[in-house]
Structure 1
Amino acid sequence: MAAHAVIFTFPAQGNASPMLKLAELLSLANIHITFLNTESIHHRFLRHSPDLDRLARLPCFRFRTIPDGLPEDHPRPILDFLNLLRSLNFSSREPYKEILAPASGIDPDGWPQVTCVIADGTLSLAYEVPAELGLPVIFFRTSSACSFWAYHCVPLLLRSGELPFPEGADMDQLVQNVPGMETILRRRDLPGFCVRARTADDPALQFVARSTADVAQAQALLFNTMESLEGPTLSLITRSVHKNTYAVGPLHALLTFFSNEKNSANLWEQDHASIAWLDAQPRRSVVYVSFGSVAVVSKEQLVEFWNGLVNSGYRFLWVVRKDLLGDAADGAEVVGEVERGKVVGWAPQEEVLAHPAVGCFLTHSGWNSTLESLAVGVPMVCWPFFADQLINSRFVEKVWGVGLDMKDVCRREVVERMVREVMEGEKAEEMRRAAGKMAEEVRRSVGEEGSSRREFTRLVEDIKAMSVQVLKKKI
């Protein structure tokens, strides 16, 4: 009896990237995979991600798309995700249902029927339709477990009166109603929607409360993390949210044990000349700078970062996306030229971070970027932009000791000081040792007897068992 899982990603690079890696891993485990994305973002991936052609040729792998209901020329800003979700719910339900259960009863490719759905945990549509069809759903939360736990506690924060914050609140005050993190999280470490909310019925707060509550309806909950990194939080989630929780990460590191091929989803063309430039630089001499695929900065902030990096005296490789300044201008035209620096539009990040010339990562603290840095032992300077990034950056400094948290600050002297502190300061060696130990933990976790490898094996076995039960019901 063949297992066939539909993997439905939220249409954003940060979400699609780990889900694509999971999809390949499951395909290599002889599970048929239909990777589902919206038409708009899938077409962008096709333009800049040659890996997708290789994946489409795998015997148990295929791509499918559904409309998102927005006009073709709509910019689809991720920060307007509530509007995107409303459009998806209205326009994509029937096309999604047709993929899960064709009206003809026959798959157009002759594939076995769908027996399981792995859905991005922020998509209510991804759960509701298979639930109507009697298909089991596994929720994949592509953020960190620690940020998910804080999200899960939003209703408790509302009931206790800790949210919304009062006007003029002390942002350094510790948050008391995120169990297990009472000595870690400050008000300023919670996601921006918590900071901006002025009433308990704020749409973003209510969305988070609903989406975290939906998790209990799924068969299981999946995280791209490892036990040795987020063990205490995973234990809280298993006891309080879902008893069947998998930690199978970092997925990009796990995938290297099963495939020598690259697997990435990019919205921009990668500049591989950055690797040749790094080859010419001394060991640990370069600060790699990237704020991910979503963050937007002002021209003033860009100039502050530029001056801080130049004044630090270190070489730097900086990813400046064409839309880093939003619609204001091309950021690469705003920053100047300097002998020690190289600016690119997009870079092969995993390869860059693993390069011996890189000594520090100035990052937005997205979860994928954080894991990629941890996996190769590169300490970080964190400047989070939104959502889970604010919690990730706090854990990088306060809990894991592998970097510094620069949130809420964007001044050249602070950029210069923090870069110097991570590269050469009194605590630099301490952070480097902590990052090195974390890299060892990653290798151990995804290795033969590692916790993430065992969890992935359990996941495969459970998907196949779910599939048997689904097929028996159909007989």
Structure 2
Amino acid sequence: MSHKVASTSPRNVAVLVFPFTSHPTALLRFVRSLSTVAPDMQFSFFNISRSNSSLFSGSGNKGCDNIKPYNVWDGLPDGYIPLSRNPQREHVELFIDNAPRIFERAIKEVEAETGHKFGCLISDALFWFAADIAEKMHVPWVTSWIGDIRSLFVHIETDIIRDKVGAPGQDNKTLEFLSGFSDEFQASDLPKEIVFGDIESPFARMLHKMGQKLPQAAAVAVNSFETMDLKVTEELKKRLQKLILVGPLHLVRPLQSVVSDDEDQQQEEDVCLQWLDDHEPASVAYISFGSLGALPPMEVVALAEALEEGGFPFLWSFRGNLEDFPQEFIERTNKLSIGKIVSWVNQEQILNHTSIGVHVTHSGWNSILESVSCCVPMIGRPGFADQHINMRSVEVVWQIGVRIEGGVFTKTGAVKALEQVLFLEQGKEMRQRIGVLKQLAQEAVGPNGRSAQNLRALVEIIKA
């Protein structure tokens, strides 16, 4: 280990990554956007080894020489053996418990090794403790929230919600007591960590502390744009030192920067695009439930039967067990060119295809933004975290999609939703409204757009 005399530079930035689910990808995209605006700044990306290896391999990350990955301990003791049936949850909780020590140590080691002290700390918004680390370092703390502003707002208002709704909460309690929320939002739309789940779990406590600490941040960056939800944006600005909307970030980074290097994946994607070319505009249902989302087998069967019975053309990005599908369903639909089931696609490219008429989704925020920017209305089947409140916004605020009836797929409910979006007048109206949002999103990231201006302003905050 080097023992150089360290000098502070605002151009050296430490980035602390929550290394699970879609968080590392989203934070890297945010940092890459910053690095494009400020090529003279150096970003040290602190993340666990497995995640860094995935993120920084291939051509998708070329041209970002001012972002350097550093591996940190994953929080698992030597010889670790899972104690429960949910090893992923155990891993997350162990990492959360150790994260402050993990990152403080890594920062000190890199500063000693390089001879340069960091001038700013960027973290995933989940890391409330980054406020304390930044204070010790005498540098500004900037956070990145990867979800929608409405989901961020409810975490900041957790104490008020628990007081009004109770913990455990009342499912049908409406949320109109929150500024910017109508009585169409219900307590059941909230992330379970706020009022319903184990609110003393490590993850729930982290979210609660995050809501309490974020007002201390020099800036909170969110992957959205000003005109998407004006009222809640204004309310959040009153509660934070600086709210900066910088999205949609996938429009800031061009499509070609995220093309897969895997030849098999690229070949499969080319086949999908050719298959879509043979279908009418706005006629195909694209189905995907995210990188972790998997429907229960009964719902796979229900959705599959609805697609086949209704003759709806579909492209399904499926990560589950193919044996969950009805017998010979894949062969029948493939033979008739009604459907195609693949293990992976570049979602952005698929949604951009003119034949896609609806996105059947888990309602993750990235998927919603990509649907908006590609002008594709949605059918939502939310599962966890902020997905329920996202889908409620899609349905009642923007009116660009529908939630699946009853919250789970039945054959009847799926047919009804698909017909509604693909064939009925309501679906046409959704496409018109989503077209307006698409235009606003494109304007926001344009050279003189508000998100582009905000990104440049954020760079100045970091440098200051």
Q: Normalised by the size of structure 1, how large is the TM-score?
A: 0.84
Aligned to 1:87: 94
Deviations 1:106-145 (A, max 9, x none): 41xx7x5321121111124544433332232111111100
Sequence identity percentage = 25
Aligned to 1:425: 424
Aligned to 1:40: 50
Mark the CA change 1:302 to 1:391 in structure 2 (over 3 Å): closer, same or farther.
same
Question: Offset of 1:213 from its aligned partner?
Answer: 0.8
Aligned to 1:470: none
Mark the CA change 1:51 to 1:333 in structure 2 (over 3 Å): closer, same or farther.
farther
Counterparts of 2:300 and 2:111 in 1: how far apart (Å)? 55
Conserved 8 A contact 1:287-1:317: yes
Counterparts of 2:31 and 2:261 in 1: how far apart (Å)? 12
Deviations 1:2-60 (A, max 9, x none): 612222222134222222222112222222122222123233445xx6245525xx331
Query: More deviation in 311-320 or 130-139?
Result: 130-139
Counterparts of 2:312 and 2:137 in 1: how far apart (Å)? 57
Conserved 8 A contact 1:20-1:264: no
Q: Tell me, what secondary structure is at the counterpart of 2:359?
A: strand
* Aligned with 1:369 (options 354, 361, 367): 367
Counterparts of 2:364 and 2:428 in 1: how far apart (Å)? 24
Kindly report which structure 2 residues correspond to 1:198-237, keeping only aligned pairs within 5 A, or say none: 205-237=204-236
Question: Offset of 1:96 from its aligned partner?
Answer: 2.5
Q: Tell me, what secondary structure is at the counterpart of 1:175?
A: coil
Question: Offset of 1:263 from its aligned partner?
Answer: 7.2
Deviations 1:305-331 (A, max 9, x none): 21122223221010111xx36xxx765
Conserved 8 A contact 1:139-1:220: yes
Aligned to 1:471: none
Conserved 8 A contact 2:19-2:48: yes
Kindly report which structure 2 residues correspond to 1:99-114, keeping only aligned pairs within 5 A, or say none: 99-102=106-109, 105-107=112-114, 112-114=116-118
Counterparts of 1:255 and 1:362 in 2: how far apart (Å)? 24
Aligned to 1:96: 103
Kindly report which structure 2 residues correspond to 1:64-463, keeping only aligned pairs within 5 A, or say none: 64-70=70-76, 83-102=90-109, 105-107=112-114, 112-166=116-170, 171=172, 173-194=173-194, 196-197=196-197, 205-240=204-239, 242-256=240-254, 261-262=257-258, 271-272=268-269, 273-321=271-319, 324=320, 336-337=329-330, 338=333, 339=336, 340-406=338-404, 408-463=407-462
Question: Offset of 1:297 from its aligned partner?
Answer: 2.2
Counterparts of 2:438 and 2:142 in 1: how far apart (Å)? 28
Conserved 8 A contact 1:136-1:219: yes
Counterparts of 1:74 and 1:233 in 2: how far apart (Å)? 44
**Aligned letter for 2:14?**
V
Mark the CA change 1:264 to 1:386 in structure 2 (over 3 Å): closer, same or farther.
farther
Number of residues of Structure 1 aligned to a counterpart in Structure 2: 443
Conserved 8 A contact 1:312-1:417: no
Mark the CA change 1:99 to 1:50 in structure 2 (over 3 Å): closer, same or farther.
same
Deviations 1:58-78 (A, max 9, x none): 33121122121237998999x
Mark the CA change 1:206 to 1:59 in structure 2 (over 3 Å): closer, same or farther.
closer
Mark the CA change 1:141 to 1:103 in structure 2 (over 3 Å): closer, same or farther.
closer
Deviations 1:183-212 (A, max 9, x none): 3312332223456448x7576654432221
Question: Offset of 1:260 from its aligned partner?
Answer: 5.7
Mark the CA change 1:19 to 1:103 in structure 2 (over 3 Å): closer, same or farther.
closer
**Aligned letter for 1:284?**
A
Question: Offset of 1:357 from its aligned partner?
Answer: 1.3
Query: More deviation in 380-389 or 129-138?
Result: 129-138
Counterparts of 1:385 and 1:313 in 2: how far apart (Å)? 26
**Aligned letter for 2:45?**
F
- Give the RMSD, CA atoms, in angstroms: 3.1
**Aligned letter for 1:245?**
L
Deviations 1:207-254 (A, max 9, x none): 4322211212322111000001022111111102x1311000001112
**Aligned letter for 1:364?**
H
Conserved 8 A contact 1:302-1:335: no
Query: More deviation in 427-436 or 176-185?
Result: 176-185
Counterparts of 1:217 and 1:138 in 2: how far apart (Å)? 10
Aligned to 2:32: 24
Conserved 8 A contact 1:285-1:357: yes
Conserved 8 A contact 1:4-1:115: yes
Conserved 8 A contact 1:194-1:205: yes
